[in-house]
Chain A
Amino acid sequence: TQLLEQSPQFLSIQEGENLTVYCNSSSVFSSLQWYRQEPGEGPVLLVTVVTGGEVKKLKRLTFQFGDARKDSSLHITAAQPGDTGLYLCAGRGGTASKLTFGTGTRLQVTL
């Protein structure tokens, strides 16, 4: 069974601060995705990383895939209240397999 542990579970910060969310596993993934979910809605895809060591940037969000493809991180610069939500990493073990989701990190950004 592939397990993805996220840390921290909950993060409450003020607008303008930086933060990093971690996603760790003992399994190797062929690809890893990050989603953001708002209350009462389904998760929305933010990014997909495929290559070990890959770094992708999406405005103020920076995503990195570990060299061994077992872990990933999400860094947010100058957080804004609109970044509030549940952040989920999700890994795919092979070309034909479903996504396994992480435990989630709930982010709250206040003014």
Chain B
Amino acid sequence: DTGVSQNPRHKITKRGQNVTFRCDPISEHNRLYWYRQTLGQGPEFLTYFQNEAQLEKSRLLSDRFSAERPKGSFSTLEIQRTEQGDSAMYLCASSLGQEINYGYTFGSGTRLTVV
């Protein structure tokens, strides 16, 4: 297993366009998380899945954001009508379960620039 994979690594888009990012977690991990990070700051929680069920979504997440994990494997994060404030690194992570000592394995992220 090569770890958590995110594609694309970089995305430049014009304001108002839609973008979609993909995350492939570690295959045996049933939990998948999406975070957003701006430069020099800690990651900010967006949403997470247990298998195919979306269990929690941040109140900070506008209705322009949607995430899916259709078969409990890979996940997609879509941003509609992008705004300049959406520019950030979008990180995906997976974990084996919900035990308090389980850590996250992160992907390398997708850096989004909205121009």
Contacts and interface: CB of A to CB of B under 8 A. Distances in A.
Q: Which among B35, B100, B104, B105 has the greatest number of chain A C-beta atoms within 10 A?
A: B100
Interface in B86-115: 91, 93, 98-101, 103-109, 111
B31 to A, nearest CB: 9
Contacts of A109: none
Given A41-B109, A44-B106, A50-B101, A103 B41 contact: yes
A106 B40 contact: yes
B contacts with A: majority SS = loop
Interface residues of B, number: 25
Given A31-B101, A33-B103, A99-B104, A42 B4 contact: yes
Interface string A28-49: 0011010000001111110010
